[in-house]
Amino acid sequence: MDNIAFRPATELARLIRNRRISSRELLEIYLARIDRFDKQINAVVTLDAEAARRQALRADEMQARGEVLGPLHGVPVTIKDGFETAGLRTTSGAPIYKDHIPRDNAAAVQRYVDAGAVIMGKTNVPLFCADSQSFNALFGTTNNPWDLTRTPGGSSGGAVAALAAGLAGLELGSDIAGSIRLPAAWAGVYGHKPTYGIVPFRGHIPPPPGILSEADLSVAGPLGRSAGDLKIALKILAGPEGLQSVGWKLALPPPRAKRLKDYRVAAWLDDAAMPVDREVADRLRETVAALRKAGVRVDDAARPAMPTSEALRTFQQLLTPIIATGFPKQVMEAFKQIAQAKDDGSDLARFARDALLSHREWLGANAKRHSHRRIWADFFRDYDILLCPAGSVTAIEHNTAGTQMDRRITVNGQSQPYGLLIAWAGIFTYVYLPVTCVPVGRTSGNLPVGMQIVGPYLEDRTTIDFAERLAREIGGFAPPPGY
């Protein structure tokens, strides 16, 4: 079967069920590809082939008896190294966790296992999953299969590189500021950031191992090579866990439309506060043109009734204290000195003040967040879907020098702050909206371009359904050359 390694996970599971291929045979294909290709990509940083072989053998033995664990029965997967995996090293890219081998799976990982997935290994992340590039002192730098001189993004960079290069059948990512969406866009794969709170986050690092409280903003979600993979994976992952499951049930609404042309679509493709590179914008406009050709009515003037700057500022105030939680005491003392000095308008001064936000100030930002959620609810009374860039640029060249506040990117020939990379993702993160990221073509330099499909709160099935229908018009995942 030609190119079986690039088939969607749903198709791989079907081939196993129909006994066209065994789980063990499929696993060996992926292990051979990891051995062949991953030396140049550095996506899979921890691999336990023998444990995976035992899992695959068990899946095949069950299959022979007519027993099926679930929709991922026998499908080999990798897991982002931010999620704890039982008996398999989990580091979150941090030297202090270089020997951390959890006893239990993270809640989301366990749901993949219960659905029949075969876990092969772990994929690379930045230190504590906190960068738009995936590199760390333990495992080094992950390269983008489309161009090895560029990053696949972060923090789910190893995950998307593995998917794009055909090294795994499915992945599990996490997202607090675009960590599923930006990498998916830069590697040309599919990713879904669920509505906040519907997929359990317990067992992710950060926070430190053993913490049971749910962090604000952070979500776990699937990464795959088709919208159909996201649909099945979300069904597996979503639902209450632990104490909540005693009385809570999750019933996500069905997609808002049954045909592509029945969706009410808005398009927000550029913004002065979040400039978009011309080639990215061109691919997005071509996607809108394809939708119109298919009979979809697209309003490219519709916007939420709030200033973009206000949305970005609220996101920053809610995100920064979470990031700063794990900073050493001496760093926080330095931030106090910066915050007490005269405000020079720099990104560092803003970050320092936000890192030290008082609870009273946080409550003000949270109140602003909920007023913005009401604005989005009003917006989605008139529209079912909002189309946006996944980011301002395509995959950037490796740039790991200095701090994130020192780094710059180039948009349309102009130098811009590195923080712009997460802006288009962040304005939907803090208001808890579901977002599906899809590939929509490539630039003249053959780099993938991704688009966010944003939907109403708790209407994840709408964004994934739209993504699936869009692929029938413009195509979906394509492997990078040479793999």
User: Would you say 202 and 177 are in contact if contact means Cβ atoms under 8 Å apart?
Assistant: no
Q: Can you give the pLDDT at residue 454? A: 99
Q: Which amino acid is at 309?
A: S
Helix axes 49-64, 9-17, angle to 10 degrees: 50
Nearest to 385 by CA among 310, 464, 441: 464
Strand partners, 219: 175
CA distances in angstroms from 85 to 79, 80, 108, 123, listed in the order given: 8, 10, 10, 12
Query: CB 446: neighbour CB atoms within 10 A?
Result: 11
What is the mean pLDDT for each group of 10 consecutive residues in the chain (483 residues)?
89 97 98 98 98 98 95 98 98 97 98 98 97 98 98 98 98 98 98 98 95 92 98 98 92 98 98 97 98 98 96 97 87 87 82 92 97 98 98 97 94 97 98 98 98 98 98 98 96
pLDDT for position 345: 78
Buried (b) or exposed (e) across 184-216, using 16+ Cβ within 10 A? bbbbbbbbbbbbbbbbbbbbbbbbeeeeeebeb
Q: Which domains does the chain have, with CATH numbers?
A: 4-256+468-474 (3.90.1300.10), 307-367 (no CATH)
CB atoms within 10 A of CB 363: 11
Q: Which residues pair with 192 in a beta bridge?
A: 436
**pLDDT score of 15:** 97
Which has the closest alpha carbon to 267: 289, 300, 304, 293?
A: 300
Strand partners, 442: 448
Structure tokens given for 350: 């803003």
CB-CB contact of 107 with 86 (8 Å)? no
- What is the per-residue pLDDT for 328? 81
Q: Which 3-state string (H, E, C) describes the chain?
A: CCCHHHCCHHHHHHHHHCCCCCHHHHHHHHHHHHHHHHHHHCCEEEECHHHHHHHHHHHHHHHHCCCCCCCCCCCEEEEECCECECCECCCCCCHHHCCCCCCCCCHHHHHHHHCCCEEEEEECCCHHHCCCCCEECCCEECCECCECCECCCCCCHHHHHHHHCCCCCCEEEEECCCCCHHHHHHHCCEEEECCCCCCCCCCECCCCCCCCCCCCCCEEEEEECCHHHHHHHHHHHCCCCHHHHHCCCCCCCCCCCCCHHHCCEEECCCCCCCCCCHHHHHHHHHHHHHHHHCCCCEECCCCCCCCHHHHHHHHHHHHHHHHHCCCCHHHHHHHHHHHHCCCCCCHHHHHHHHHCCCHHHHHHHHHHHHHHHHHHHHHHHHCCEEEEECCCCCCCECCCCCCCCCCEEEECCEEEEHHHHHHHHHHHHCCCCCEEEEEEEECCCCCEEEEEEECCCCCHHHHHHHHHHHHHHHCCCCCCCCC
Q: How far apart are CA 17 and CA 11, in angstroms?
A: 10
Task: Catalogue the active-site residues.
Answer: 80, 155, 179
251 in Cβ contact with 372 (< 8 Å) = no
Q: From the CA atom positions of the chain, what is the Rg in Å?
A: 21
